[in-house]
Structure 1
Amino acid sequence: MAGASRTGNDSLGIQALLWTLPVLLLALYVVPFAGVVSWSVTQPEIGFAQYWRILSGGDMTNVFLRTLRIAVISTTITVLVGYCLSYYWVMGSRLRQTILEVCIFIPFWISVLVRAFGWLIILRDNGMANSFLMAAHVITEPLGTGRNEFAVIVGMVHFMVPFSVFPMATVMRKIDRRILLAAHGLGADPATVFRKIFLPLSMPGVFAAFVMVLVFSVGFFVTPAILGGGRVVMVAEAVFVQMFQTTNWGLGAAMSVVLLLLIGAIVGLAYRLLGVRSFVG
């Protein structure tokens, strides 16, 4: 009897532990999100007017289109740069690997605010880049690289490259080197080995990195707000403005819901087209 009672108590304890995480997720995410959805259809009046404003082709629609365009461009550049870094990190000599490890991990020690303001100092009209080019007589007037989409993309790429490296490097490390050696032994040149063997085998990591970076990029706030200077407004900044400056809580909530649905659609589409194996290598 005592043993059965102890077993029953252990089972109850295990059940309690298993249900703790779902209950926390429900309390911390689902319930607040339900409140946001409620605001989107009740503020300032009941209805779907805020969603219609987003989808009707006005300023809010342009904000979403701009966000997607910048996110896709920055994600593409990030994955290309990250792939090169991952390749040399995995396939390079020990010295090269050490140097790349330092370059990859150092950005994690620097605040996103510090990095954004650093790029602002470099790219503004009287910043370091324009001053150097004008002193070298390469240009005669500033290029206008600050507070525009170019500056936002540069800042986003710089922030996201380290995140893109890890999934690609993980997949590359799993590639059997004997396959590459066999291809070399059969007379394939390095370019052919890379194009026909290494690149296809590393594509799961590329897909995973692309989706992860794209999801992060769609919701970027700090970097576009600083480097865009109010001229390049993305969705996250627009939500902040509607919530805390214009106090239009209904529109801000509706934009948040649409943004979350957009991110969910991106992840769901990637999962459906590529499958879970593409994300785990």
Structure 2
Amino acid sequence: MRTRFRITQASLPWLLIAPPLLLVSVFYLYPLAQVLFISVTEPAPGLQNFALLGTSASIQHMLVTTVRVCATTTAVAVLLGYVVSYAMTFSSPRARNLTMVLVVIPMWVSALVRAFAWVALLQRQGLVNSLLMASGVTERPLSLVWNELGVVIGMVHYMLPYAVLPLFSSMRDIDGRCITAARGLGASRWQTFWRIFLPLSLPGVIGAAVLVFVYSLGFFVVPAILGGGKTVMVAEYVRLQIVELLNWGQGTMLAVSLLVSVTATLGVAIRLLGAKRFFGHGGGAA
């Protein structure tokens, strides 16, 4: 007796998502499980690798550097992105489209190319130092690259579009009638911005800050080139442990810790803003 398999309406969604779920499990979840397994088994089973987060001075220094650089990058990128997004919101359609093109175009350029471009601009004989000395601002070249300042400059340049896009989306959704009503009731431009526009745009600010910070945590190319080996962040430290020192236990432990930190940060942001606001809606419209 043969049993005939019948596709019901209830089983159809599961059949449609089964292939991508299988691919995700094989090429993403399984490697993650391997990384987690190695982090608690090398060089011996246990949590001794994770204990290094609280006992190793070098790891703690690297983590502090990573958080400091990412926080600085986030603050500067969101501030600059807010100014650009605000100007786009109240500009003409032609100017807005042109600004959007200028914001998006750098995203198509390789991070490696941009990093080496900043090296050419910021080095002691580069264009920036040449202009500063020629204008009399400084008598000797400034140290602008191969240090933490160079890393922040390169990361802000890379992350600026990721701050502008969610900020502009949030500001675009703000109901213009709120601004008009405030001005009609006698509020100045500053009062309207401070008491109406800024609070309504805060979901976009938080979303942009979380996106920039989370993305910055895993940066490798920009810190490696512009830091010159003096500003070591978590991604470069993981490469050092696994590729050069063959210390798979510490390397995978840091990778797992980074994944947990990113997931926790996103979870807190989604809890504060709600999934709809965080992923696709500025939430400022009245």
Question: Aligning the two structures, in what range does the TM-score lie when normalised by the shorter sequence?
Answer: over 0.9
Match in the other structure for 2:30: 31
Identical positions, percent: 41
Shift of 1:180: 1.1
Match in the other structure for 1:238: 237
Q: Which ranges of structure 2 fall in alignment gaps of 5 or more residues? A: none
Query: How many Å separate the matches in 2 of 1:6 and 1:54?
Result: 53
How many residues are paired up? 277
Query: How many Å separate the matches in 1 of 2:173 and 2:49?
Result: 48
Q: Using a 3 Å threshold, how does the CA distance of structure 1 residues 14 and 64 change in structure 2: closer, same or farther?
A: same
Match in the other structure for 1:229: 228
**Residue deviations 1:128-151 (CA, integer Å, cap 9, x gap):** 111221222321111111111111
Q: TM-score with structure 2 length normalisation?
A: 0.91
How do 1:61-72 and structure 2 match up within 5 A? 61-72=60-71
Q: Using a 3 Å threshold, how does the CA distance of structure 1 residues 6 and 35 change in structure 2: closer, same or farther?
A: closer
Shift of 1:118: 0.7
- Range 145-154 or range 93-102, more displaced: 93-102
Query: How many Å separate the matches in 1 of 2:13 and 2:41?
Result: 41
Match in the other structure for 1:276: 275
Query: How many Å separate the matches in 2 of 1:277 and 1:168?
Result: 15
Shift of 1:27: 1.9
Q: Using a 3 Å threshold, how does the CA distance of structure 1 residues 206 and 246 change in structure 2: closer, same or farther?
A: same
Query: How many Å separate the matches in 2 of 1:14 and 1:103?
Result: 41
- Match of 2:7, SS state, is helix
Shift of 1:158: 0.5
Match in the other structure for 2:147: 148
Match in the other structure for 2:183: 184
Paired AA for residue 45 in structure 2: I
Paired AA for residue 196 in structure 1: R
| Matching of residue 56 in structure 1 with residue 84 in structure 2 | no
Q: Using a 3 Å threshold, how does the CA distance of structure 1 residues 98 and 15 change in structure 2: closer, same or farther?
A: closer
Query: How many Å separate the matches in 2 of 1:275 and 1:95?
Result: 33
Q: Using a 3 Å threshold, how does the CA distance of structure 1 residues 48 and 200 change in structure 2: closer, same or farther?
A: same
Query: How many Å separate the matches in 1 of 2:134 and 2:83?
Result: 32
**Residue deviations 1:101-156 (CA, integer Å, cap 9, x gap):** 23212202211111111111111122111122122232111111111111100111
| Matching of residue 114 in structure 1 with residue 126 in structure 2 | no
C-alpha RMSD over aligned residues: 1.9
C-alpha contact (below 8 Å) 1:215/1:266 kept by paired residues:
yes
Shift of 1:270: 2.2
Query: How many Å separate the matches in 2 of 1:270 and 1:105?
Result: 25
Shift of 1:168: 1.2
- Range 143-152 or range 25-34, more displaced: 25-34
C-alpha contact (below 8 Å) 1:88/1:96 kept by paired residues:
no
C-alpha contact (below 8 Å) 1:204/1:277 kept by paired residues:
no
Match in the other structure for 2:204: 205
- Match of 1:143, SS state, is coil
Shift of 1:265: 1.9
C-alpha contact (below 8 Å) 1:86/1:169 kept by paired residues:
yes
Shift of 1:95: 4.1
Query: How many Å separate the matches in 2 of 1:93 and 1:221?
Result: 38
| Matching of residue 131 in structure 1 with residue 137 in structure 2 | no
